[in-house]
Amino acid sequence: MAKSTTKDMTQGNPTRLILGFALPMLLGYLFQQFYSMVDTIIVGQWLGVSSLAAVGSTGSINFMIIGFCMGVCNGFAIPVAQRFGSGDYVSLRKFVANSVWLSAVFAVIMTVLVCYFCMDILVLMDTPSDIIKEAYDYIFVIFLGIPVTYLYNLLSGIIRSLGDSKTPVYFLVLSSIINIVLDIVTISVWNMGVEGPAWATVISQAVSGILCLLYMMKKFEILRIQKEEWALDGHYIKILCSMGLPMGLQYSITAIGSVVIQTAVNGLGSMYVAAVTAGNKVSIFLCCPFDALGGTMATYAGQNVGAKKLNRIHQGIKSATIIGFLYAIVACVVLTVFGDNIVLLFLDAAEAEIIGLAHQLLIIISAFYILLVIVNNFRFCIQGMGFSTFAILAGVCEMIGRAGVGFGLVPFWGYTAICFASPVAWILADIFLIAAYFICHNRLKRVFGEEKEN
């Protein structure tokens, strides 16, 4: 195993380690969101506001289903990071092998179920009749790609758990280029409508996943699984499910609140759907640094728990939070001053009212980005420490916040209430996560103390 392919995060300055690991991850997230934004830009500029609203109306259900896949895969990578930190490479390979089997089963079951019920879900979400067909055409293809979502996220998560956050980025760069080319070809040459960008997303992600697989097979000797290590093992499956399912459910439960909000937006009409779609696309792109810091803390905490270095976790969460706060201030200023110009990427300048609504959303959300820093850093740190169940409870807090706004405030305050849905969700999650972090840290101190006594 070449030393350059892995990174030990149990030694060295935490701030430098976190920045060094997070920056390549950030580039990866930016490219993921970049080609997602390109989908939206091309749809909005070439197919029109109606098609933009159709794609946007699927955002929350997309997040609920695809987010579950991503959460499960991130959870599966945590035991790998912990075994890498402790130097137990035999168990590491067994965890990888069993995670492959579990991912394959989950992918097949989920693809069949969500594709079958796809239209029913859109109807239940009160998707406007003038956009529901295009919404179905788009999201059905995305759901057909669930297996490649598992492929890429599982393999990239394993690679990152070994300390290599750069390689998945290189593959994303290539797949982003493929995605953009396919976007243009499928819409302008093949006239595929909204299905074109959906297929472009699926195909480009498949390319990333295959490249990750080839890279792992060639570069990581510790991942060369022996025949006997491929056997299903109930002990490893139990641990993987205890890590992966809570993280997947955390995404999905959080997304339930987003579904409630999206349903409320749908009820306001296509114009508001288009405004929220454009605003959220911009916000998600600028939130990539928060996601990168969170993903970094999962690996950082996982490796340091494996090495039983709990004090380094405190140092790491402090460093990551300071970095996040500084960026949150910059992002808030950028979106407040230039947000209306940025949404012109998705909308024609003639759509003045929609642009104003999207800018309003960006101003309000960005004012609370500091709360999002805490949500991501503490939640992923707790998951890396091995307490994934807490992720579900954090997701419940976010769900309650968004659902409460959707059911209780939107009928009275309309679109303004929509803009405050995420900040309310972050406040509730922060209250829970800060307390949960110290509880988890103290539990590990007791466990490691008992091990030393024995």
Could you read off the pLDDT of 253-285 as tens digits, one per residue? 877 887 888 888 888 888 888 888 889 888 988
C-alpha 336/C-alpha 351 separation (Å) is 19
C-alpha 106/C-alpha 264 separation (Å) is 31
Short-list 149, 139, 135, 133, CA closest to 115: 139
Q: Radius of gyration of the chain from Cα atoms?
A: 21
Is residue 158 situated within a structural domain? yes
Is residue 287 situated within a structural domain? yes
Q: What is the residue-averaged pLDDT of the chain?
A: 87
Is residue 3 situated within a structural domain? no
Is residue 284 situated within a structural domain? yes
Q: What is the pLDDT of residue 94?
A: 93
Specify whether the CB–CB gap between 367 and 339 falls below 8 A. no
Residues of the chain where predicted confidence (pLDDT) is lower than 70: 1-7, 32, 35-36, 450-454
- Give the type of residue at 264: A
Is residue 4 situated within a structural domain? no
Specify whether the CB–CB gap between 283 and 339 falls below 8 A. no
Cβ contacts of residue 401 below 8 Å, gap of 6+?
257, 421, 424, 425, 426, 427, 428, 429
Residue for token pair 């945590």: 78
Q: What is the pLDDT of residue 35?
A: 65
Is residue 2 situated within a structural domain? no
Identify the domain containing residue 119 by its residue range: 9-453
Tokens read off for 59: 């955002």
C-alpha 120/C-alpha 24 separation (Å) is 40
What is the percent of the chain with per-residue pLDDT over 70, rounded to a whole number?
96
Q: What is the pLDDT of residue 3?
A: 41
Q: What is the pLDDT of residue 6?
A: 62
Specify whether the CB–CB gap between 397 and 313 falls below 8 A. no
Q: Which helix (H) or strand (E) holds 91?
A: helix 89-116
How many domains would you assign to the chain? 1
| pTM summary value | 0.72
Q: How far is CA 386 from the centre of its chain?
A: 19
DSSP assignment of 93-107: HHHHHHHHHHHHHHH
Is residue 135 situated within a structural domain? yes
424 CB-contact burial (10 Å; exposed 0-12 / middle 13-18 / buried 19+)? buried
C-alpha 253/C-alpha 241 separation (Å) is 17
**How many Cα atoms are found within 13 Å in the side-chain-facing hemisphere of 133?**
2
Short-list 291, 292, 170, CA closest to 219: 170
pLDDT tens profile 86-99: 888 888 999 999 99
pLDDT tens profile 203-252: 988 998 999 999 988 888 888 888 888 998 999 999 999 888 887 887 78
